[in-house]
């Protein structure tokens, strides 16, 4: 290991960043080809930003002119927990979102480290996390930090996939050790049939159009009725393909207190309480500093309504009935659907009124579907 890389690792450790690997800043042609093909096949769903200027995402020079090296960091976010239990009232939250928003926590440390590298190595440095236009998993894999699993997650040998990624781009040229032979999933395909919606139709390819994480976080519109039962209890993200992965069998707990569940919403969300967040101010106050702000209020209440029906949350019936009058059509329509499964006698008159009076075509269509299925 070069003296420069040893210095980088010492500085990184001082910032709580124990896992680091380095690669050159040449554009990643292979990752670019994959991205272009993936977008052309429509698998990016509504993430139009992924298909805008793909070459820029494969070129670190987009973020920092004159960049010479890309440092990739991995931060463990795993917290051991008992198996999820809906208990007829709870929705499930993906593990990375149990604590505070990692973007803020990680970016602060990466920026501080970038400043330290500028002072010690010279040149400019820039920190990035996944909301910057860089194909971070591809560069991390090229650096030897991990390898792509068939579930498209980056797997760290001997550690698993419960890791957040971040980068520091620097104009300093840091000698990059040649990575050893890459590990791989072998013949294991556990993640593919485990996906509740079939989003992993083939190894190494994720179809965001039916991915629970995409649908519950990034997607802004209605969720197709045929997909709703498959979402199960998930209200934010999904961990199924990681839960079944053998590489995660011996995952260690995180050392970052901010990523632990006691700092945020934890693994379960009370569905009635979520549905009762009547306005934007209440929503923001409840989820301030956590990733659950990402789907916005309408998206999260949409998800909570779906989960309520799926887990048989009859205690949510009053909140769902109230939600059929929500200012957001997205909430009203999904609340009608959920209510029809939990209390059809309550849903029928509300659906009849919505069919006749609601200004939103989506809500009227949901109302028609409820009435077609309602008992005479």
Lowest mean pLDDT among 70-74, 130-134, 160-164, 211-215: 130-134
Residues 20, 141 within the same domain: yes
Please check whether residue 216 lies inside any domain of the structure.
Answer: no
Model pLDDT, residue 48: 87
Residue 221 falls inside a structural domain:
no
Nearest CA to 321 out of 297, 343, 300 is that of 343
Q: How many CB atoms lie within 10 A of CB 75?
A: 22
Final residue in a domain of this structure, among 170, 195, 214: 170
Q: Which of 24, 130, 243, 360 is catalytic?
A: 130
DSSP conformation letters of 343-365: -HHHHHHHHHHHHHH-S-HHHHH
Question: Same domain for 12 and 129?
Answer: yes
Q: Is the pTM of this model over 0.85?
A: yes
Give catalytic status of residue 358 as yes or no: no
Using the structure block, give the residue that is written with the tokens 């609340």: 335
10 Å Cβ neighbour count for 187?
Answer: 5
Number of structural domains (the chain) is 2
93 inside domain: no
In this structure, the answer to whether residues 149 and 7 fall within a common structural domain is yes
Boundary residue ending a domain (141, 170, 199):
170
Q: 150 with 283, same domain?
A: no
Question: Is 242 part of any domain?
Answer: no
Whether 10 is covered by a domain: the verdict is yes
Residues 27 and 148 in one domain: yes
Residues 164 and 24 in one domain: yes
pLDDT the model gives residue 4: 92
Q: Please choose, from the candidates 376, 308, 359, 311, the residue with its C-alpha nearest in 3D space to the C-alpha of residue 336.
A: 308
Q: Is pLDDT above 60 for 359?
A: yes
Which tens digits make up the pLDDT trace of 309-351? Answer: 999 999 999 999 999 999 999 999 999 999 999 999 999 999 9
**For residue range 30-49, what is the model confidence (pLDDT) as tens digits?**
999 999 999 999 999 999 88
CA 297 to chain centre: 17
Higher-scoring residue by pLDDT: 213, 3? 213
Axis crossing angle, helix 102-121 with helix 3-14, rounded to the nearest 10: 140
Does the structure show a pLDDT above 50 at 364? Answer: yes
Query: Do 35 and 155 share a domain, yes or no?
Result: yes
Contact present, 247 and 149 (Cβ < 8 Å)? yes
Give the residue from 109, 144, 170 where a domain finishes: 170
Q: Are strands 234-236 and 90-93 parallel, antiparallel or unpaired?
A: parallel
Q: Does 201 reside within a domain?
A: no
Residues 6+ apart with CB under 8 A from 124: 64, 66, 118, 170, 171
**Could you give the percent of the chain with pLDDT greater than 70?**
98
Q: What is d(CA 140, CA 290) in angstroms, rounded to the nearest whole number? A: 25
Q: Are residues 12 and 142 in the same domain?
A: yes
Predicted local distance difference test score (pLDDT) of residue 334: 98
Portion of the chain with pLDDT greater than 90, in percent: 92
**Which domain covers residue 292, as residue numbers?**
276-376
CA distance 167 to 87: 40
Q: CA-CA distance, 320 to 307, in Å (whole number)?
A: 12
What are the pLDDT digits (tens) for 82-136?
A: 999 999 999 999 999 999 999 999 999 999 999 999 999 999 999 999 888 999 9
User: Whole-angstrom Cα distance, residue 71 to residue 184?
Assistant: 22
350 in any annotated domain: yes
- 21 in a structural domain: yes
Backbone angles phi, psi at 92, to 5 degrees: -105, 140
CATH of the domain at 48: 3.40.109
């Amino acid at each position: 290991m070069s003296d420069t890389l040893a210095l980088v690792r010492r500085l990184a450790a001082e910032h709580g960043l124990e896992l680091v690997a380095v690669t050159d800043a040449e554009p990643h042609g292979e990752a670019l080809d994959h991205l272009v093909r993936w977008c052309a096949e429509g698998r990016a769903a509504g993430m139009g930003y992924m298909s805008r200027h793909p070459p820029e995402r494969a070129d670190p020079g987009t973020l920092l002119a004159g960049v010479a090296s890309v440092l990739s960091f991995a931060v463990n976010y795993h917290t051991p927990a008992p198996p999820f239990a809906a208990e007829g009232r709870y929705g499930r939250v993906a593990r990375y979102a149990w604590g505070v928003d990692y973007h803020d926590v990680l970016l602060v440390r990466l920026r501080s480290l970038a400043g330290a590298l500028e002072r010690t190595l010279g040149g400019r440095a820039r920190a990035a996390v996944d909301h910057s236009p860089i194909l971070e998993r591809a560069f991390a894999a090229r650096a030897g930090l991990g390898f792509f699993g068939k579930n498209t997650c980056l797997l760290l040998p001997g550690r698993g996939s419960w890791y957040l990624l971040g980068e520091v781009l620097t104009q300093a040229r840091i000698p990059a050790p040649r990575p050893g032979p890459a590990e791989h999933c072998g013949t294991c395909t556990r993640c593919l049939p485990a996906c509740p919606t079939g989003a992993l139709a083939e190894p190494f390819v994720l179809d965001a159009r039916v991915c629970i994480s995409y649908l519950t976080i990034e997607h802004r519109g209605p969720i197709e009725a045929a997909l709703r039962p498959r979402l199960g209890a998930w209200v934010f993200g999904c961990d199924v393909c990681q839960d079944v992965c053998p590489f995660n069998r011996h995952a260690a707990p995180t050392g970052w207190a901010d990523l632990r569940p006691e700092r945020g919403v934890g693994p379960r969300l009370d569905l009635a309480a979520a549905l009762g967040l009547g306005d934007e101010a209440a929503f923001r106050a409840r989820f301030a500093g956590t990733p659950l702000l990402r789907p916005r209020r309408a998206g999260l209440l949409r998800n909570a309504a779906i989960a309520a029906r799926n887990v048989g949350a009859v205690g949510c019936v009053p909140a769902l009935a109230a939600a059929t009058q929500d200012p957001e059509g997205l909430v009203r329509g999904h609340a009608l659907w959920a209510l029809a499964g939990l209390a059809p006698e309550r849903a029928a008159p509300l659906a009849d009124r919505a069919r006749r009076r609601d200004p939103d075509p989506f809500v009227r269509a949901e109302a028609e579907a409820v009435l077609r299925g309602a008992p005479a």
